[in-house]
Amino acid sequence: MSIKMLKFVKIGQQNPPKRAISNRKEDFNEIYKDFIQEKAEEQSSRCSQCGVPFCQIHCPLSNNIPDWLKLTAEGRLQEAYELAQSTNNMPEVCGRICPQDKLCEGNCVIEQSGHGTVTIGSVEKYITDNAWEQGWINPIKIKKEKDQSVGIIGAGPAGLAAAEQLRKLGYQITIYDRYDRSGGLLIYGIPNFKLEKFVVERRTKLLKESGIKFIQNFEVGKDCTLNQLREKHNAILIATGVYQAREIEIPGNNLENIFPAMEFLTASNRKGLGDKVELFDNGTLNTEGKDIVVIGGGDTAMDCVRTSVRQNAKSVKCLYRRDKKNMPGSAREVANAEEEGVEFVWLSSPKKFIGKNKVESLIVDKIKLGEPDDSGRRKPEVQKNSDFNLKADMVIKALGFDPEDLPKLFGCDELQVTRWGTIKTDFDTMETNIPGVFAAGDIIRGASLVVWGIKDGRDAAISIKKFLERSEFKKIKVA
Ligand SMILES: Cc1cc2nc3c(=O)[nH]c(=O)nc-3n(C[C@H](O)[C@H](O)[C@H](O)COP(=O)(O)OP(=O)(O)OC[C@H]3O[C@@H](n4cnc5c(N)ncnc54)[C@H](O)[C@@H]3O)c2cc1C
Ligand code: SF4
């Protein structure tokens, strides 16, 4: 047996740190608060340096995981951080909220061999949080600012990553966002127990200190058209995300106390940020003491049920029309929710909301899974005469998001979109059909992940640079 194999067998016998504790409501940070250097080194040393870095292959950013694990194991934390940040604009964010079980950690060879994955995400979080503490993360200093400017619509992960990459190259950057705070879904969608808001705020502060201009409370489409913005800048990036909540068209949908997920989560996040939120304070958007039903099976639904638990709901049920195996959400999130006492009502679909003015209960059909449809997933079919009643003081609808009608909103009919309403871009350059207008993140993919938004933002920045260099070249030639 080779030395490498011996090492593998030895380290493979170690147990991963205990994540799960019964009835817990703690957040990622509470679980990992004792994830100190010693543990980061211990976890990193479990990496077998297997030579076929499946973790890296399955990381959308192709992070050089084996190498920064090796550096961490050797206690070379600054070098580990430098390497981690060279491919990722927000390693501490991804370390906290990437669905690692589906990406890097799920493909770790140690996990595959049944010995428990190296906890890559927690090491990535640790080395970056440590870098902040040590003062190794500083604003961008550019030698000479370029004359050209880029206007970015949307201050979510895609817009912020592109802004940082382009600012490093010396371009003038202005980000326009319709919210009062930057961060997109990082700030108003993802709950505080998964991603603390100060983590997002210190990133955006750093970008401001790097000379990137932020214009908040500015909605493109309302405060200016896309073409007016194009006149101000040499290139534009659309990174507006997807926000149109999918609806459920059943009787009783207009009763009080039935809310879309984002309304509920935004209120909770605003409260966490110290804002005055009347609808939360007067109990309307607060689940305390109530029987809650959340409809949906994705990560947003998991955030809603777990937020409800933290607000001390009397009971929390999650209604999903397929079974556990076919849930779109991260298995880890489902397990967390189950541990916290959330009851999953699998294979069930709401048929009617019941109540006088406010919702009081739901009539729910039982579902069986039929033959696979075009997408390969088994089709949910209603079982005849199977309906039952479920009590609810408040219902939260988490059925997914579609893009808004951007051509109409932006006053730009010529902007091409796909049949799903996402912006159509050139696969290689991320440029739309309008020259000099690029797009990135959820608005081209549909609802996706932060790590993909960062990847798109970085890729778009490369194409925007090429475009600006070409246009500068043309200008010189004409002159
Ligand atoms: C509840 C919830 C939980 C999630 N949890 C996770 C998770 O745990 N892990 C994970 O990886 N992903 C998660 N996601 C997905 C992730 O948040 C998104 O994929 C990611 O934020 C997309 O980034 P983006 O920059 O494309 O868009 P967004 O983050 O949506 O940012 C878009 C920005 O554009 C602004 N904007 C929109 N229209 C305009 C306009 N007309 N003018 C000006 N500004 C505009 C918005 O205000 C917003 O700030 C979650 C999503 C939700 C909804
Ligand atoms: S960015 Fe996400 S997928 Fe990539 S290494 Fe970090 S946690 Fe894993």
- The per-residue pLDDT for range 269-300, each reduced to its tens digit, is 999 999 999 999 999 999 999 999 999 999 99
Instruction: Report yes or no: 437 and 431 within 8 Å, Cβ to Cβ.
Output: yes
d(CA 67, CA 44): 10
Residue from 43, 47, 54, 59 whose mutation best tests the ligand 2 pocket (most atoms within 8 A of CB): 59
C-alpha to C-alpha distances, 4 to 15, 48, 70, nearest whole angstrom? 19, 7, 14
Mean pLDDT, to the nearest integer, of 195-203? 97
Residue 474: the pLDDT is: 65
- Min mean pLDDT across 170-184, 218-232, 463-477 is at 463-477
d(CA 224, CA 229): 7
State if residue 177 touches ligand 1 by the CB under 6 angstroms criterion.
yes
For ligand 2, atom 4, the nearest C-alpha belongs to 59
State if residue 456 touches ligand 1 by the CB under 6 angstroms criterion.
no
3-state class of 300 per DSSP?
helix
Q: Where are the beta strands (DSSP E) in 290-358?
A: 291-295, 315-319, 343-345, 348-355
Residue 476 pLDDT class (50, 70, 90 cuts): low
Instruction: Report yes or no: 349 and 367 within 8 Å, Cβ to Cβ.
Output: yes
Q: Which residue carries 């979109």 as its tokens?
A: 417
Per the model's pLDDT, the better-predicted residue between 12 and 132 turns out to be 132
Q: Six-digit token pair at 117?
A: 């994955």
Residue from 185, 406, 443, 452 whose mutation best tests the ligand 1 pocket (most atoms within 8 A of CB): 185
For ligand 2, atom 8, the nearest C-alpha belongs to 104
| Ligand 1 centroid to residue 302 C-alpha, Å | 16
| Ligand 1 centroid to residue 358 C-alpha, Å | 31
Mean pLDDT, to the nearest integer, of 393-416? 97
Residue 95 alpha carbon, nearest atom of ligand 2: 7
Residue 219 alpha carbon, nearest atom of ligand 1: 42
Residue 452 alpha carbon, nearest atom of ligand 1: 19
State if residue 219 touches ligand 1 by the CB under 6 angstroms criterion.
yes
Residue 7: the pLDDT is: 31
Q: Which residue carries 């409809």 as its tokens?
A: 295
d(CA 56, CA 53): 5
State if residue 111 touches ligand 1 by the CB under 6 angstroms criterion.
no
353 beta partners: 362
| Ligand 1 centroid to residue 22 C-alpha, Å | 31
Residue 216: which residues within 8 A CB-CB, separation 6 or more?
Answer: 155, 177, 179, 180, 181, 182
Residue 331 pLDDT class (50, 70, 90 cuts): confident
Please say if the pLDDT value at position 22 is more than 50.
no
Query: Looking at the CA of 83, which ligand is closest?
Result: 2
| Ligand 1 centroid to residue 83 C-alpha, Å | 26
Please say if the pLDDT value at position 12 is more than 50.
no
State if residue 185 touches ligand 1 by the CB under 6 angstroms criterion.
yes
Residue 330 pLDDT class (50, 70, 90 cuts): confident
pLDDT tens for 98-111 read 999 889 999 888 88
State if residue 221 touches ligand 1 by the CB under 6 angstroms criterion.
yes
Q: Mean pLDDT over all residues of the chain?
A: 90
293 beta partners: 317, 395
Residue 70 pLDDT class (50, 70, 90 cuts): very high
